[in-house]
Amino acid sequence: MTKRAIIGAKVFDGTRMHKDAALLLDDDVFDRILSAKDVPAEYRIIRATGGIILPGFVDLQVNGGGGVMFNDDPSVATLRTMSDAHAKTGTRAFLPTLITDTPDCLRAGVIAVEQAIDAGVPGIIGIHLEGPHLSNAKKGAHDPALIRPMEDADEAFLVDAASRIPNVMVTVAPESVTSEQIRRLAEAEIIVSLGHTDCTYAQARVAFAAGALCVTHLFNAMSQMTAREPGLVGAALDAAGVSAGLIADNIHVHASTMRSALSAKREQDAIFLVTDAMATAGSDITEFTLNGRKVHRVGGRLMLEDGTLAGADLDVASAIKTLVTYAEVSPADALRMATSIPAKVLHASGNVGHFVQGQPANAIHLGESFEYLGTP
């Protein structure tokens, strides 16, 4: 075993920042964090060039990467390509995401994730099924022809998937599922998230009471907060114990809006970063297809032919920089949103999102401007 002490950078443990610290590793296994002046003699000192050492990012919404989309080919080969692409941006744990599609595609995706986990494909910790039980009124880039209410067979499929995969997240609209369905899904330890919905505040609160404890890409493709109808946005910000993903690219959500949402939920540590990444992640491609429709990559935006946003051209490190630079979020808070906060949403988080003694560190190194520098 090779004992190393990494000094010269701040160390973020998933919860708080340590200055003038040393990260002690035995090969890639985390030992402990202590003062840089107290490194034991048996540890070889490695000096980092500033920046921050932290646990790898956790991303609960990843549609593609490396030029491929999970919907196009829900296979282990696709998952390996996605894993490689996102590892190069600092993500060490993610939920491959299938948007609204056919039952055959969803079944193939679950099988592929189960096989990928069995094969040890790095970073795969479950699956996120974003649809098809959504609302056409807030479909976004989802194909309206494939959106439909949840039936008994769909519920049984999800419960079975949760018995085989550590983490199953499903995005649904209250218009397309019943409270009883949500309750049974939650009892099966499925992470039920509300999204792509035009539901009222009252409908959202009923769904939360039934067991939905998350919201998919807050502010996007959902009922907004108005003076007399708070909608899903208002319900998400108001309800204790409800978490929400956020696409922090200053395109999907304005920095001032992010700041207001974070202020409303700050004490709960409940808003986390997602990339909603597409095939473009880790790739220089300029277009791809989504459910047979062409998506263009232009100026940091991914758009269908009609201008509808279709996922995000974003990596987690860039989202952190956006939060710190434009939304006035502290570095420690932004890093929590990329590590330990999304990890809390998972049913089986293991050691992702924070350092655990005796477990693989999966550490990454960020520069002073939050750019990904690699593995320390």
One domain for residues 324 and 213? yes
Task: Look at the chain and report how many structural domains it folds into.
Answer: 2
Classify residue 193: in a domain, yes or no: yes
One domain for residues 319 and 362? no
User: Backbone phi, then psi, for 105, in 5-degree steps?
Assistant: -65, -45
One domain for residues 44 and 92? no
One domain for residues 120 and 30? no
One domain for residues 125 and 255? yes
One domain for residues 204 and 133? yes
Classify residue 187: in a domain, yes or no: yes
Taking alpha carbons only, the member of 34, 89, 150, 81 closest to residue 371 is: 89
Classify residue 350: in a domain, yes or no: no
Classify residue 351: in a domain, yes or no: no
Classify residue 84: in a domain, yes or no: yes
Residues of the chain with pLDDT under 50: none
One domain for residues 8 and 151? no
One domain for residues 114 and 25? no
Q: What is the pLDDT of residue 1?
A: 64
Taking alpha carbons only, the member of 75, 125, 70 closest to residue 99 is: 70
β-pair type (91-99, 127-130): parallel
One domain for residues 239 and 252? yes
One domain for residues 307 and 369? no
pLDDT in tens, 208-267: 999 999 999 999 999 999 999 999 999 999 999 999 999 999 999 999 999 999 999 988
- Cα first-last separation, the chain: 17
Angle, CA 319 vertex, CA 313 and CA 321 arms, to 5°: 130
Classify residue 369: in a domain, yes or no: yes
Angle, CA 187 vertex, CA 183 and CA 192 arms, to 5°: 65
Classify residue 239: in a domain, yes or no: yes
Q: What is the pLDDT of residue 31?
A: 96
One domain for residues 226 and 364? no
| Residues of the chain by 3-state class (helix, strand, coil), percent to 5 | 30, 25, 45
The CATH number covering residue 43 comes to 2.30.40.10
Q: What is the pLDDT of residue 319?
A: 98
One domain for residues 46 and 179? no
Classify residue 98: in a domain, yes or no: yes
Q: What is the pLDDT of residue 348?
A: 85
276 is known as an active-site residue: yes
Please give the single-letter amino acid code of residue 350. Answer: G
pTM here is: 0.97
| Domain that includes residue 100, residue range | 57-345
Identified catalytic residue from 276, 284, 306, 315:
276
The CATH number covering residue 330 comes to 3.20.20.140
Q: Treating both helix axes as pointing N-terminal to C-terminal, what angle do 316-326 and 255-265 enclose, rounded to 10 degrees?
A: 90
